[in-house]
Structure 1
């Protein structure tokens, strides 16, 4: 998940302040929310010290940089700093499990991706998974789209050029960041829906997959926009389309697979979550602080430069999206007989 193309302009070693916005009094009925009047346990005087944010990926990736950019803006409304701790491993499961098992006092929260709950359990063999019920979602923050990308010399100039392969008998290869990722699933489902003969070629992350397209090792590929934007801006690669429900506010010129007649939406949402019994007062405080932090001009600039869309919604809406995505993906996985690898 290391996106070397990301534009940050921030000090990655800086300590961070944390918080969250939008109401979420009830998330996943029966999760056993604990309340408290204490000061250092998520009660009325929360927070009394720094809050730890577990980023379940290595430093430098989009999740890490989003967290660090927000951290600069959130310290004032939260009243304390947020310390970023990177816990890379098992496609975000290692860090997210640490959050789920943490003391439910509001001083350790995480920043997991939606794919951990929607794609990993269905496509990765013997996956190390984390049930969403083990967490309490505090607030949604961002969503990144998946873009189809081709070399500038490729015969594929538009999304229609790719769709025109249907029935041609030509076999193409497509690169992706690994089984269980949005780039893998979006392309696999798209080519099958379109009736295109295509073979997948996995690489060790989004960066290597984009490099493979640049080196013409594969005919086409997919990535999050930040992973390929510099090569697109330099004219070496070309974006063809994306897999969102509607055209992206950050990429309004790109058509979607949906508008071409394919019922396929694949993206990567990110959100703040804590242990399932995190006190209501801590949740509310974090929400209010995030509401203020996302207004920061530097955060807005960061999102625009990296083609990342806002997804600032209540925790219940995040949970609903994840469940809906899981179900939609499952239909296609079953339809095409995709097996965990």
Structure 2
């Protein structure tokens, strides 16, 4: 009797194993929806559409991009984490949606450390600290020295609680100086304010900032990432002056929590193949984006470390979303 039970148990296990294998091998058998939690035309949207095109070719199914913007990316991200964990609804996460938002939104409807399944690291970019070309600030030390005065200095950002805001707050903390935050609605408006002298400095995307540097309108004093910038290799990392300053903006593909491992691996392979394509490689080179390499098993730890890093900065500055 025991022998029969054992045989049946082994048979059932084998059958379930074959069924799971067949399920994984059939994925995907219909289109996949990639939710972009920001508006069309943003850098996240452009990166997402390039990756989606490459994934479609690799998977043999269309990856449909849908923009669902709102609340700093929280609206679209919530739609993803609430979806079925079958791999057919995924999202392009960012440093904002998967790290910063946890600290700046008091009632964030999801937890980036427990409610997502990381799929693949997509790329990253540091920012450049720039000042107006007509200012007396020739080096980062010059700017910091001015910030020690009672009057201090001002810095622009793309909004309260954004990565550009928190980068300025970290510099303020590490330098122990008087730096006053002035939020603007966009990077372009903020840069215009720096160029005109309305504010003293700003952290901004390397390509748009470098274009103004090359045009003689701005001066770059530092790079936010410890590894420097491929777009502006001549600009020193701020980490050289203030140890521990290492901030980058990044993109990471994810789905809802508890996605099957085989499905996650299939998507990871498709994203990796897409990133290696000529179209993505060319766009990254023009946009100052680095591919970066991170194994699937490292992604959970990366998200947690970024949540803590940005959370510490946001909490120290008492930063909240607009």
TM over 0.5: yes
Aligned residue for 1:32? none
Aligned residue for 1:184? 165
* Structure-2 separation of matches of 1:271 and 1:200: 28
Tell whether 2:128 aligns with 1:128.
no
SS at match of 1:155: coil
Report Cα offsets for 1:190-242 as digits up to 9, x if no partner: 02321321211011132322222233221111112244343233232232212
Equivalence map 1:183-332=2 (5 Å): 183-332=164-313
Q: Say if 1:331 and 1:105 are closer, same or farther in 2 by CA, change over 3 A.
A: closer
* Structure-2 separation of matches of 1:167 and 1:194: 9
5+ long unaligned stretches in structure 1: 1-34
Tell whether 2:23 aligns with 1:45.
no
Q: Say if 1:203 and 1:112 are closer, same or farther in 2 by CA, change over 3 A.
A: same
* Structure-1 separation of matches of 2:164 and 2:170: 10
Pick one of 67, 91, 99 that aligns with 1:110: 91
- Structure (1 or 2) with the larger CA radius of gyration: 2
Report Cα offsets for 1:88-109 as digits up to 9, x if no partner: 1111111111111112221110
Aligned residue for 1:175? 156
SS at match of 1:119: helix
Asked if 1 retains the 8 angstrom alpha-carbon contact of 2:127 and 2:224, the reply is yes
* Structure-2 separation of matches of 1:135 and 1:330: 18
What's the offset of the Cα at 1:331? 4.1
* Structure-2 separation of matches of 1:318 and 1:293: 18
Asked if 1 retains the 8 angstrom alpha-carbon contact of 2:161 and 2:314, the reply is no
Q: Say if 1:232 and 1:70 are closer, same or farther in 2 by CA, change over 3 A.
A: farther
Q: Say if 1:145 and 1:36 are closer, same or farther in 2 by CA, change over 3 A.
A: farther
Higher alpha-carbon deviation: 77-86 or 313-322: 313-322
* Structure-2 separation of matches of 1:248 and 1:319: 25
What's the offset of the Cα at 1:120? 2.3
Pick one of 132, 156, 170 that aligns with 2:137: 156
* Structure-2 separation of matches of 1:339 and 1:142: 26
What's the offset of the Cα at 1:249? 3.5
What's the offset of the Cα at 1:183? 0.6
Q: Say if 1:130 and 1:293 are closer, same or farther in 2 by CA, change over 3 A.
A: same
5+ long unaligned stretches in structure 2: 1-17
Q: Say if 1:232 and 1:60 are closer, same or farther in 2 by CA, change over 3 A.
A: farther
What's the offset of the Cα at 1:150? 1.4
Q: How many residues align?
A: 303
* Structure-2 separation of matches of 1:281 and 1:262: 41
Tell whether 2:53 aligns with 1:72.
yes
Q: Say if 1:130 and 1:208 are closer, same or farther in 2 by CA, change over 3 A.
A: farther
What's the offset of the Cα at 1:158? 2.6
Asked if 1 retains the 8 angstrom alpha-carbon contact of 2:206 and 2:231, the reply is no
* Structure-2 separation of matches of 1:305 and 1:101: 35
* Structure-1 separation of matches of 2:109 and 2:26: 34
Q: Give the structure with the larger helix fraction.
A: 2
